[in-house]
């Protein structure tokens, strides 16, 4: 990690991403609380997360764009483009403007889909391969670290000044991230020319996943888990209100506690990953998430807080393991498309489960939904562990797949592999 932080561009990128995450975490939670406060409905609040996840269906197109243009320029443009929609939330004053929150949630999700694949490819260009695991863990730590301050800050800011103030904070964080990206010294390689017709270009990521057994196993396991994990995005409001008997703003406390567990998990992720191998490491993360999620059926505050911390650690391991698997198995010129193809495959079950969860929570006891999540995710983890070999694998030809000219801004040629930033909010967006 020290070697990573010695690199100026790495420090700038991590700083910008951390600032952006501060706004993201605060705003994303505030959107759900905002809708809950305006309507009193957990189902309506859960639909915010459905709207956020919906643009993930267009992920392959986003991946193709990330592979066809200069990534830093695209990322800066994406960060700045979301600022005006965020500021439009200043016009939301009552339930009649509820539609505007959903529109912004969709645009927010689209921005995240495009920036996720772009940032992943940019990191692969910038850093030597020996630093990619540290960068992956650092980004995950920053992401989960923001759970400690951003949800509380967002909920507090919302309670004191309303959702418009949170929107202004988030807009400022995107501008700050864009400034950090502008200051990078990294000289991007020229994008690879189009090699096939458009349809084949768009589907190249799916083809690569299908030809790579470990990627296929991991994505199937995560996809099955996400068929039910999305239920929690709506059920969590019932956990707070019916189970723990707290106001909706207490959700910020739960998310912050989950962040503590996630940070603890990220700090020990690298040695565990090397020891267990990609598949078993992700399986362990799924098992921890299942145990933690199952604990939320109780009304005991201590058990619930402990459980959500355990779930946070499991989620962190699943995300880091997923990102590492993709980075080890994908050539740089396919980075954006493989990332986005995986995101699409995961977004479909996630989006469906969030939508169904918003409907089911009105007719099914939320504790039954949580029990179903724990059973499916835990069982999927066991199957993945049984089918995954131990030991960490790095393809010997990964460096040969890197286009000539790719590397760090200093001219150092990476030793192999690429980094696929973990699809943090796509695998499991806030608040759960």
Do residues 87 and 171 make contact, with C-beta atoms less than 8 angstroms apart? yes
> Domains of the chain: which residue ranges?
2-189+199-394+401-408+420-427
> What pLDDT is stored for residue 425 in this prediction?
39
- Within 13 Å of residue 245, how many CA atoms lie on the same side as its CB? 4
> What pLDDT is stored for residue 374 in this prediction?
92
Do residues 132 and 418 make contact, with C-beta atoms less than 8 angstroms apart? yes
Q: Which of 13-17, 96-100, 235-239, 386-390 has the lowest mean pLDDT?
A: 386-390
Distances (CA, A) of 288 to 297, 393, 430: 16, 23, 18
- Alpha carbons 239 and 308: distance in angstroms, whole number: 12
The per-residue pLDDT for range 313-349, each reduced to its tens digit, is 998 899 888 887 887 788 877 878 888 888 778 877 8
The per-residue pLDDT for range 144-193, each reduced to its tens digit, is 777 677 777 887 888 888 888 889 999 999 999 999 999 988 876 666 66
> What pLDDT is stored for residue 234 in this prediction?
78
Stated pTM of the model: 0.71
Record the tokens describing residue 142, joined without a space. Answer: 């920053």
- Alpha carbons 338 and 360: distance in angstroms, whole number: 33
> What pLDDT is stored for residue 282 in this prediction?
93
> What pLDDT is stored for residue 191 in this prediction?
63
Q: How confident is the model at residue 391 (pLDDT cuts 50, 70, 90)?
A: low
pLDDT above 90 coverage of the chain, percent: 20
> What pLDDT is stored for residue 424 in this prediction?
37
Res 15 pLDDT > 60: yes
> What pLDDT is stored for residue 224 in this prediction?
92
Q: How confident is the model at residue 422 (pLDDT cuts 50, 70, 90)?
A: very low
Do residues 181 and 72 make contact, with C-beta atoms less than 8 angstroms apart? yes
CATH number of 2-189+199-394+401-408+420-427: 1.20.1250.20
């Amino acid at each position: 990690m020290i070697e990573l932080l010695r690199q100026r561009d790495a420090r700038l990128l991590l700083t910008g991403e951390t600032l952006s995450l501060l706004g993201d975490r605060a705003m994303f939670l505030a959107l759900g609380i905002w809708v809950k406060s305006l309507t009193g409905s957990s189902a309506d609040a859960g639909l915010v997360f459905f709207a956020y996840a919906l643009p993930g269906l267009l992920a392959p197109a986003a991946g193709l764009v990330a592979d066809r243009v200069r990534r830093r320029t695209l990322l800066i443009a994406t960060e700045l483009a979301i600022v005006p929609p965020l500021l439009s939330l200043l016009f939301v004053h009552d339930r009649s403007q509820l539609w505007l929150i959903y529109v912004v949630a969709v645009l927010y999700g689209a921005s995240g889909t495009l920036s996720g694949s772009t940032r992943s490819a940019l990191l692969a260009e910038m850093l030597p391969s020996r630093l990619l695991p540290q960068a992956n863990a650092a980004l995950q730590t920053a992401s989960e670290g923001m759970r400690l301050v951003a949800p509380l800050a967002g909920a507090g800011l919302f309670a004191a000044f309303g959702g418009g103030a949170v929107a202004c904070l988030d807009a400022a964080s995107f501008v700050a991230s864009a400034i950090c990206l502008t200051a990078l010294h990294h000289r991007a390689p020229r994008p690879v020319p189009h090699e096939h017709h458009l349809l084949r270009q768009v589907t190249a990521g799916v083809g690569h996943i299908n030809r790579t057994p470990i990627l296929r196993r991991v994505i199937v396991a995560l996809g099955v888990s996400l068929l039910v994990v999305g239920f929690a995005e709506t059920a969590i409001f019932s956990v707070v209100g019916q189970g723990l008997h707290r106001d909706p703003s207490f959700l910020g406390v739960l998310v912050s506690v989950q962040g503590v567990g996630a940070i603890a998990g990220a700090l020990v992720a690298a040695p565990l990953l090397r020891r267990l191998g990609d598949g078993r490491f992700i399986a362990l993360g799924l098992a921890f998430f299942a145990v933690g999620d199952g604990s939320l059926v109780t009304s005991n505050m201590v058990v619930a807080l402990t459980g959500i911390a355990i779930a946070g650690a499991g989620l962190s391991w699943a995300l880091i393991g997923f990102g590492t698997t993709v980075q080890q198995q994908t050539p740089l010129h396919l980075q954006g498309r493989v990332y986005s193809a995986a995101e699409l495959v995961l977004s479909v079950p996630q989006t469906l489960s969030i939508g169904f969860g918003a409907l089911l929570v009105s007719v099914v006891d939320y504790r039954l939904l949580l029990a179903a999540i724990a059973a499916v995710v835990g069982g999927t983890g066991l199957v993945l562990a049984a089918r995954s070999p131990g030991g960490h694998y790095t393809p010997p030809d990964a460096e040969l797949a890197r286009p000539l000219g790719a590397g760090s801004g200093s001219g150092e040629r990476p030793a192999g592999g690429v980094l696929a930033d973990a699809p943090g909010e796509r695998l499991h967006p806030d608040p759960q």
